[in-house]
Amino acid sequence: MFTHLDLRKKFADFWKEKNHKEVPPISLVPQNDPTTLFTGSGMQQLVPYLLGEVHPLGKRLYNIQPCFRSQDVLEIGDNRHTTFFEMMGNWSLGDYFKKEQLSWFWQFLTQILGFDKKRLYVTVFAGDKKNNLDPDNESRKIWLELGVPENHIFSYGPEKNWWSRAGVPDNMPEGEPGGPDSEVFYDFGQDFKLHENSPYSSLKCHPNCDCGRFLEIGNSVFMQFKKTKNGFEELPAKNVDFGGGLERMLAAANNNPDVFLTELYLPIIKNIEKIVDKKYENEDDKRKIRIIADHLKGAVFLIKSGVYPSNKERGYVLRRLLRRVTIKMYQLKGKKVLANDLNLAVEAIIEIYKNIYFEEKDLEEIKPVIGEEIDRFNKTLEKGFSILQKIEKPTGKQVFDLYQSYGFPKELTEELLKEKGLTFNQKEFDEEFEKHRALSRTASVGMFKGGLADHSKNTLRYHTATHLLHQALFDVLGESIRQEGSHITGERLRFDFYCAKKPTTEGLKEVEKIINQKIKEELPVNFVVLPKEEAYKIGAKAFFKEKYPDMVKVYYIGQSLETAYSKEFCGGPHVTNTKEIGKIEIFKFEKIGANLYRIYAK
Ligand code: SER
């Protein structure tokens, strides 16, 4: 058996030998980036260097980076997707390029790990006419020279063979780096059922088919472009950004098509089997057990990174993971599983990674956080579940009530309803949510005249002012402006943004002037609900790090949607007229990173 410790060591030794320096992994919760929920790839910390800054450790780097991708939550349950994973990466910052990268990775797979060449397939970028991006014939040629037969080389368009943090070229914001990539797949060669839902072919299996026969084990991204107003521009240096999932590479090295049966999951699975009294056997049970194992591991790592269950942002992601674990155990066992019963599974997770990410004492900190959350949810679980089971025509209000009174996260209810073939109206849910917020606001105004009421009113004012600020920055400083985050307290607003050029004092004065002008104009603030595509079309500003549902709310500030000064994807709430905001003053401005700036206003 090939162990994960072998794999870590072989990977590190291989790159060290080729003069690469190790960059230490960053936290799963990015420290200086309030806008990114979790570290989702090894390159996260290298963005400024891929864009041209000089890295203190040189031009050749490698590391193993813990990653968490919350957007993959609903894909968990098959043989290879996980929310938490470790990414093995190597980088060339304008040093070597395609030829070395592909040859070296091939050497690592075939000589160091001893993979059978017959089982390896590669993919290359087929080009993107719309964005004037050529097919990557160079990579194809290199693979042929390395001895990969023509029928093991597949070409795909940008949705499969282009990488940027924002995805395909069309979705990239200005200033974002990206490039074509070349992936390597391992073929388990078994009699996998042909996958009918594959968008590429319903007849023939191929590397990007979803049936589970092929497993992507590494991706060499050729970071050579930056998106600009006029399309794609070459970066100052051509970079390599390689990432390969450690769990997957381990599965392939052991010729085992199920990532959950590698030593990185098996001890957890064994414990879950005992807890729920079910075997990891039929497809449906397997799916649930995988979800439990994945989410529990994700939760352990998030807690270790300082996240606690809550109703907001990262805390909410963690809460959803743990509540989903609780539900799946309940479904498998047919009765509640107590938090204490889970301890062995948590211990198994920490044992797997001891000396790498955990110390003995972590257990005592992590166990109670998981325990409390599960216990709390267990109190309302059965009641909520039985209500849910009786629902025949779900309404947004019922889904909201399940959330409000029984702690069922909306996404979880959605999934449970789907199991019964039912859906609900998201808009209705949102309206219910808003209504509830408005009610509790009114209630708090009534109860405590001073502080709280003022505070929530101020929050609304600052929220609307943030939209004005965003648009004014755009008008004064140009189209490179991109929101990186914002934060509001009762006392001030904070706005982080990317700007290609350093804003001047005069520029900021002008921004301030425009905001106050718009406040003086007493513009109404309203929203419409639109299909997402429509909202993009009318130029509403979106936050590129956010995934939006198909129907979105767009707040606009002005007499009508057509003439509005600002249009923005946003859940609200806002003041009803800009005159309620009062005078705005930018009182602090600072640089927080490469081309990243922060404004405070009150
Ligand atoms: N950034 C690329 C990825 O995440 C390769 O490291 O897949």
**Residues 223-278 pLDDT 10s:** 999 999 999 999 989 999 999 999 999 999 999 999 999 999 999 999 999 999 99
CATH number at 51 reads 3.30.930.10
**Do residues 22 and 161 share a domain?**
yes
Q: How far is the CA of 44 from the centre of ligand 1 (A)?
A: 9
Instruction: Write out the E strands in 93-213.
Output: 120-125, 153-156, 162-164, 177-187
Distance 241 CA to ligand 1 centre (A): 6
Mean pLDDT taken over the chain:
89
The CA 125 to ligand 1 mean position distance, Å, reads: 15
174-193: average pLDDT: 86
In-domain check, residue 325: yes
* 441 in a structural domain: no
Q: Ligand 1 within 6 A of 123 CB?
A: no
- Is the pTM higher than 0.75? no
Distance 81 CA to ligand 1 centre (A): 15
For residue 122, is it within any domain?
yes
| pLDDT tens-digit series, residues 39-81 | 999 998 898 899 888 999 999 999 999 999 987 677 899 999 9
pLDDT recorded at residue 35: 63
For residue 517, the CA-to-ligand 1 centroid distance in Å is 45
Residue 202: pLDDT band (50, 70, 90) is: very low
Domain final position from 253, 287, 305: 253
The more confidently predicted of residues 204 and 341 is 341
Which pLDDT score is estimated for 548? 66
Residue 11 resides in a domain? yes
241 lines ligand 1 (CB under 6 A): yes
Structure token digits, residue 214: 């092929």
Query: Do the beta carbons of residue 217 and residue 245 sit within 8 Å?
Result: yes
On the question of pLDDT at 517 being above 70, the answer is yes
For residue 429, the CA-to-ligand 1 centroid distance in Å is 36
Does some domain include residue 66? Answer: yes
The answer, yes or no, to whether any atom of ligand 1 lies below 6 A from the CB of 181, is no
Q: Are residues 371 and 426 in the same domain?
A: no
Cα–ligand 1 centroid distance for 196 (angstroms): 28
Asked, for residue 260, whether it belongs to a domain, the answer is no
DSSP 179: E
Place 422 in a pLDDT band, splitting at 50, 70 and 90.
very high
What is the spatial distance between Cα 397 and Cα 475, in angstroms, rounded to a whole number?
A: 40
* Mean pLDDT for the stretch of residues 520-536: 87
**Percent of the chain with pLDDT strictly greater than 90:** 68
Tokens found for residue 11:
């990977």
Looking at the domain assignment, is residue 271 inside a domain?
Answer: yes
What sign has the CA pseudo-torsion 103, 109, 115, 120?
Answer: negative
List the one residue out of 297, 294, 320, 490 whose CA is nearest residue 413. 320
Domain count across the chain: 4
79, 215: one domain:
yes
Q: Select from 211, 226, 253 the last residue of a domain.
A: 253
Residue minimizing CA distance to atom 6 of ligand 1: 243
Burial tier of 389 (Cβ tally within 10 Å: 0-12, 13-18, 19+): exposed
Q: What's residue 490's pLDDT?
A: 73
Q: Which residue shows structure tokens 């949705």?
A: 159
* Average pLDDT score over residue span 494-512: 92
Q: What is the CATH number of the domain that holds 487?
A: 3.30.980.10
Residue 31 has pLDDT above 60, yes or no: yes
Looking at residue 455, what is its pLDDT?
Answer: 43
Give me the domain span that covers residue 160: 4-253
Query: Does residue 303 sit in the same domain as residue 426?
Result: no
User: Is the shortest distance between the CB of 402 and ligand 1 below 6 Å?
Assistant: no
Distance CA 567, CA 585 (A): 22
The last residue of one of the domains, among 253, 286, 318, is 253
User: Using a 6 Å cutoff on CB, does residue 240 contact ligand 1?
Assistant: no
Under 8 Å between Cβ of 421 and 398? no
Supply 181's token pair: 């990539």
Q: Model confidence over 437-493: pLDDT tens digits?
A: 776 554 433 332 222 233 467 778 898 999 999 999 999 999 889 888 778 777 888
Closest ligand 1 atom, residue 40 Cα: 4
Strand locations in 14-119 (E): 21-22, 60-68, 84-92
Task: Scan for tokens 């799963």, then name that residue.
Answer: 28
353/404 same-domain check: no
61 lines ligand 1 (CB under 6 A): no
**CA dihedral of 78, 84, 90, 92, whole degrees rounded to 10:** 100
Question: What pLDDT was estimated at residue 199?
Answer: 45
Q: Look at residue 443 in the predicted model and tell me its pLDDT.
A: 41
> What mean pLDDT do residues 361-370 have?
92
pLDDT of residue 115: 96
How confident is the model over 369-387, as a mean pLDDT? 94
The residue assigned the tokens 């993959």 is 72
For ligand 1, pick from 15, 26, 38, 43 the residue to mutate: most ligand atoms within 8 Å of CB: 43
Contacts 24+ apart (CB under 8 A), 193-200: 200/156
**Which of 18-27, 69-78, 309-318 is least confident?**
69-78
CB 284 within 8 A of CB 74: no
Same domain, yes or no: 401 and 386: no
Ligand 1 centroid–CA 255 distance in Å is 23
Question: What is the Cα Rg of the chain in Å?
Answer: 26
Burial class (CB in 10 A: 0-12, 13-18, 19+), 537: exposed
For the CA of 243, the nearest atom of ligand 1: 6
Q: What is the pLDDT of residue 213?
A: 87
428 and 336 both lie in a single domain: no
Indicate the SS3 state at residue 548: coil
How much of the chain, in percent, has pLDDT values that exceed 70? 92
Q: Tens of pLDDT along 257-269?
A: 999 999 999 999 9
The more confident residue out of 30 and 510 is 510
pLDDT in tens, 105-164: 999 999 999 999 999 999 999 999 999 999 999 999 999 999 999 999 999 999 999 999
Q: Which residue has the tokens 């155990």?
A: 329
**Is 243 close to ligand 1, i.e. is its CB under 6 Å away?**
yes
**550 and 415 together in one domain:** no
Residue 198 pLDDT grade (very low, low, confident, very high; cuts 50, 70, 90): very low
pLDDT of residue 552: 73
The finding on whether 42 has its CB within 6 A of some atom of ligand 1 is yes
**CA dist., res. 500 & res. 509, Å (int):** 19
Report whether residue 219 contacts ligand 1, using a CB cutoff of 6 Å: yes
Residue 80, judged by CB atoms within 10 A of its CB (0-12, 13-18, 19+), counts as buried
Q: Does residue 147 fall inside a structural domain? A: yes
Spatial distance between the Cα atoms of 324 and 349, rounded to a whole number of angstroms? 18
Do residues 502 and 596 both lie within one domain? Answer: yes
Higher pLDDT, 314 or 488: 314
Query: Based on the domain organization, do 86 and 124 belong to the same domain?
Result: yes
219 Cα–ligand 1 center, Å: 6
Question: Does the pLDDT value for residue 203 go beyond 80?
Answer: no
Ligand 1 neighbourhood includes 221 CB (under 6 angstroms)? yes
pLDDT band at 554 (very low <50, low <70, confident <90, very high): confident
Compute the distance from residue 309 Cα to the ligand 1 centre, in Å.
Answer: 28
Residues 198 and 343 in one domain: no
Helices assigned H by DSSP within 478-526: 505-520
Tokens of 5: 């410790």
pLDDT at 444: 37
Q: Are residues 71 and 180 in the same domain?
A: yes
pLDDT beyond 70 at 573: yes
